[in-house]
Amino acid sequence: MLEEKDFDKYEECIIIKTINDKIYYQCKLCDFISEKKEVVKTHLNKKNKCYNTDTTECKYCRKKFRDKTVLKKHLEKQKKCYNNSDLTIKIEMETNKGFKIEKLESNEDKFKKQILDYENEIKRLKDSLLQQKEENEEIKKRHDDNISDMYHTFFESYINKFANLDLMFFTGNFIRNNRYDGRVMEYYNFIISIFDKSNTDKLEKLLEDIEKYNKQNNFESLFKKYQKELELRNKTTDTKKLKYTPIQIQLNHINIFINKHYKN
């Protein structure tokens, strides 16, 4: 139970201290209660005053007025009657002690429920954000895969139709004609990059063309150097990987070509 000493008053608010020493502030003119004094002050100074009433009698000084308008003016005058109505307020507080305690306890339960609701809503939002993030990552992955597939398809088409300028330059000048066929090792990196970017079918076609135009001798040093390079890459899992064909398969094709045309 609250004791009289637990009720203190100042200007706009009544201080109420509960059994567990929690402090609340109540409007001096109505039942409005808050944990913050500023909230009660704001409440009291709002446009529609809390002390508006349905009666024409002042509840603080007990004077009666002819209508509510006059009563309102009376309540709003500079020297307010309820500033001197400590006794009336004390009596009303004594009468309503049980009600105030019950109301405070009810509000505390209400606050706890609101906090729980907020926590559940925050959890729901976090779960929703996490799900959205996972969906976005999946969409990005599918997009990247689609771009990669499109690029590979385009490159395959580009190579198969001899639309690649490097490939056209190589086959035209190093294999079919005699313009650069004697300078193969000068262009080692350029030729190897073409081999690395060719799939199995295209590599076989290039090797067949070298045989067809009798250019095996021109490419002997290049193939033997390329063979050692592929062996090293295969052992060290070098980051310089082939475009389409696994290193081991590429190496097998080169080994077969070397064993077929060159003596150890």
SS3 40: helix
Contacts for 141 with CB less than 8 Å, ≥ 6 apart? none
Q: Are residues 60 and 150 in the same domain?
A: no
Assess whether 43 and 59 both reside in one domain. no
- CB of 210 closer than 8 Å to CB of 223: no
Q: Nearest Cα to 253, choosing from 189, 190, 210?
A: 210
Q: Is the dihedral of CA 66, 72, 77, 82 positive or negative?
A: positive
Quick one: pLDDT at residue 152?
58
Instruction: Provide, rounded to the nearest whole percent, the portion of the chain with pLDDT above 70.
Output: 70
Is the pLDDT at 34 greater than 70? The verdict is yes
Residues 59 and 5 in one domain: no
- Do 142 and 171 lie in a common domain? no
pLDDT for position 82: 61
Q: Which residues contact 39 (CB under 8 A, 6 or more apart)?
A: 25
Tokens read off for 12: 């706009």
> Quick one: 14 and 63 in the same domain?
no
Whether residue 188 is found in the same domain as residue 242: yes
Cβ-based burial of 120 (10 A; exposed 0-12, middle 13-18, buried ≥19):
exposed
pLDDT beyond 80 at 193: yes
CA atoms within 13 A on the CB side of 54: 0
**Same domain for 141 and 214?**
no
Judge if 174 and 230 occupy the same domain.
yes
pLDDT score, position 219:
95
SS3 at position 131: helix
User: Do 60 and 145 fall into the same domain?
Assistant: no
Phi then psi for residue 15, to 5 deg, are -85, 130
At 88, the pLDDT band (50, 70, 90 cuts) reads very low
Residue with tokens 């070098």: 238
Largest Cα–Cα distance in the chain? 128
Its pTM stands at: 0.39
Is 42 found in the same domain as 23? yes
Residues 63 and 145 in one domain: no
Q: How many folded domains does the chain comprise?
A: 4
Burial of 17 per CB tally in 10 Å (0-12, 13-18, 19+): middle
pLDDT tens-digit readout, 54-80: 567 787 777 877 677 777 778 777 566
What is the predicted pLDDT for the residue at 241?
65
* CA–CA–CA angle 114, 119, 122 (5° rounding): 125
DSSP state of 21: -
Residue numbers of the domain that contains 242: 162-261
Q: Does the structure show a pLDDT above 80 at 32? A: no
Q: Give the model confidence (pLDDT) of 106-162 as tens digits.
A: 677 777 888 888 888 898 988 888 888 888 888 888 877 777 666 556 555 554 544
- The two three-digit tokens of residue 107, written as one number: 């509000």
Asked whether residue 111 falls in the same domain as residue 168, the answer is no
